[in-house]
């Protein structure tokens, strides 16, 4: 019996998402599309939640691009060897992203408009890779898990070496205020913006959290959730509730911040 496989589609254009889903039903009937995300942030969340076998990621999406979603998945994916990293297929109308997509170890790269024959050959490659993954001996490293661990380093050559920020420039009207990073209690992603929260104020900057992470001292700011960076000296305590969920209580603000399971190791002993 053929194993039932699962897939996530991330596409911000509903008609294209519906078309891809319908085409997949034709060329790969045993593939169950368990989620359709309309932006990158939603795609990342649903992929981490549902852990599909395959992710079809549009390159250009609001929130996070398909490439950024792939990078984020590599960062946040579980280390559990029983939950293999998903196979990635990037979809776009612009072929200039092809090289970068394959640098990210994508199984395939599809151009819009989708052609059934091309999608069919893509699905055959996916099926072959999934079949090979199934027969891997448990002691053998899953090449896709290895990819997940190496993805950051694969991306590194294309990135400039960032300088650490000492101040966050915040624009209000015609004024730019320089907020010292040391005064920030935590950063929180908000779509295309990042909320900057100090002891008594809140600012909004147009920058993704991932761009910010590269410019923040990771020894001072811990990522405790895919959307939250918190200054460690501002953490009063971490608390686990009856359902096993971990959260952080702050010294200088009243918010209770959630801690994702993948970052729970930061609070060993709880």
CA angle (216, 218, 220) in 5-degree steps = 90
What proportions of the chain, in percent to the nearest 5, are helix, strand and coil? 35, 30, 35
Q: In 3D, which of 99, 101, 96 has the Cα closest to residue 69?
A: 101
State the Cα–Cα distance between residues 132 and 88, nearest whole angstrom. 16
Please spell the DSSP secondary structure of 50-102, one letter per residue. Answer: H--SEEEEESS-SSS-HHHHHHHHHHHS---TTSPPPEEEEEES-GGGHHHHH
How many of the other CB atoms lie within 10 Å of CB of 201?
13
Residues 6+ apart with CB under 8 A from 25: 31
Cα first-last separation, the chain: 43
The list of the chain residues with pLDDT below 70 reads 1-3, 94-105, 136-163, 269-270
pLDDT digits (tens, 9 = 90+) for 8-59: 999 999 999 999 999 999 999 999 999 999 998 899 999 999 999 999 999 8
| Burial of 58: CB neighbours in 10 Å, binned 0-12, 13-18, 19+ | buried
Q: In 3D, which of 39, 20, 52, 260 has the Cα closest to residue 144?
A: 52
Q: Is the pTM of this model over 0.85?
A: no
pLDDT value, residue 239:
93
User: Which phi-psi region, left, alpha or beta, contains residue 63 (left: φ > 0; alpha: ψ -120 to 50)?
Assistant: left
Could you give all domains of the chain from N- to C-terminal order, each with its CATH number?
A: 5-137 (3.40.50.2300), 167-267 (2.40.50.1020)
CA angle (99, 74, 143) in 5-degree steps = 75
């Amino acid at each position: 019996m053929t194993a039932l496989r699962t897939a996530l589609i991330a596409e911000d254009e509903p008609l294209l998402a519906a078309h891809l889903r319908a085409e997949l039903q034709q060329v790969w009937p045993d593939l169950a599309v368990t989620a359709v995300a309309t932006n990158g942030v939603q795609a990342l969340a649903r992929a981490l939640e549902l852990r599909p076998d395959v992710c079809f990621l549009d390159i250009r999406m609001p929130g996070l691009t398909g490439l950024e979603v792939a990078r984020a998945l590599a960062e946040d994916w579980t280390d559990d060897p029983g939950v293999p990293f998903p196979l990635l297929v990037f979809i776009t109308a612009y072929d200039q992203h092809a090289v970068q997509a394959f640098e990210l170890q994508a199984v395939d790269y599809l151009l819009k408009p989708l052609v059934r024959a091309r999608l069919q050959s893509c699905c055959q490659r996916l099926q072959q890779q999934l079949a090979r993954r199934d027969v891997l001996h448990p002691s053998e490293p899953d090449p896709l898990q290895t990819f997940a661990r190496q993805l950051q380093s694969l991306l590194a050559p294309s990135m400039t070496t960032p300088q650490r920020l000492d101040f966050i420039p915040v624009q209000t009207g015609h004024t730019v205020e320089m907020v010292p990073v040391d005064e920030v209690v935590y950063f929180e992603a908000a779509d295309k913006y990042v909320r900057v929260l100090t002891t008594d104020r809140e600012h909004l900057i147009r920058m993704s959290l991932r761009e910010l992470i590269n410019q923040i001292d990771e020894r001072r700011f811990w990522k405790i959730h895919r959307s939250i960076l918190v200054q460690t000296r501002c953490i009063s305590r971490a608390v686990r509730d009856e359902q096993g969920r971990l959260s952080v209580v702050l010294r200088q603000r009243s918010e209770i911040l959630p801690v994702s399971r993948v970052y729970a190791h930061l609070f060993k002993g709880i």
